[in-house]
Every structure is written in structure tokens, then in C-alpha cells.
Structure 1
Amino acid sequence: MATGTVKWFNNAKGYGFILSESGGGDLFVHYSSIQMAGYKTLRAGQQVDFDVQEGPKGPHAINIRLAEGEAEAEAGPEEDTAESGP
């Protein structure tokens, strides 16, 4: 099983990309490959474990699970508009 970081995930479209720690570029991820109960979504920066499968358009991530210690993303789109500074 490989490990990587979610680069981005679009809740509305149901797909995104994971950057694998083993290199080789970005891997496509579809919401149907996310292994979690309830609303299946990911957040940028989350650590995930997954398998890689070769598809017609190249490799993609399947059997995606949050890495140990990662919290599940909350349902719906998430926006952080808070700015830090003096």
C-alpha cells in the first residue's frame, strides 16, 4: 500500500489528485475509491494510504483510506477565509 498527500479534491465534481510519496507524479482519485462511511470527500493536505491501479489514462489511486491520525473531512465544501496577521 502506498502513502501520499491529497493535492486537491473537488467535492462538486467528485475527483481530485494525490501526490504519492514514492514519486511518479500525481495520481487521479475518484470519490468512489474513497473507503470511509458517510460523505466521501478529502481535503488538501490530508495524508492517505492507497493502492495504485493502471487505467486507460494512466495510474490512479484506489482503496483510499485516511492515514492513521487523520481526521475525516466534514461534509460539504470547506472554505477558510480567515487571515492571519497583525
Structure 2
Amino acid sequence: MMITENHNINGNALPYDETSIYKDIVIGDNVWLGSRVLILGGVNIGEGAVVQAGSVVVRDIPALSIAGGHPAIVFSKRDSEHYFSLKEQQKFH
């Protein structure tokens, strides 16, 4: 699920006003998102990143990172030499 719209809590009514705030989500090439991942607006997920199932992504995930949790944090990296070798050989699944 990707949520790019949020209520304006700093507007002219409580708990929020009638305006919305929109933030883009950018997902790079060959990103693997597990089941039931939630991505909030304003987040960039870099090329080749992997996000574990059930994670909530509230911050950017750098390219080739492996992240997970609530909120998602980077806990490992993919082997860049191996990744780019497969990409150059066009070994896509």
C-alpha cells in the first residue's frame, strides 16, 4: 500500500482542515517489496532494494539495501558487484 496524501494538521480546523498534503513516492528499478508493505509519501526506495513483508517505510531506503520492520530500517546490503553483473547480463526474472 502506498499513501501519498495526508490531512493538514496545521490548517485552520481541528483535528485537521479540508486541505490535503501530497508527497510523491519514488521506487527505483528492480525493487522487491514483500507482501503487505506500507510506504508513506515523501519516500524514495533506491534501485535493487529489498523491503521485508509487513514493513512500514517512513524514510528513504538507499539503493541495494535490505530493510524491514516498523519503521523499516536498513540491516544489510546486497552485493553490488553481483547485482550489477546480473543487470548487465539482463538476467531478469
Question: What is the TM-score with the length of structure 2 in the denominator?
Answer: 0.22
Bigger helix fraction:
2
Question: What is the TM-score with the length of structure 1 in the denominator?
Answer: 0.22
Bigger strand fraction:
1
Flag the structure with more relative contact order, 1 or 2, with Cα contacts below 8 A and sequence separation at least 6. Answer: 1
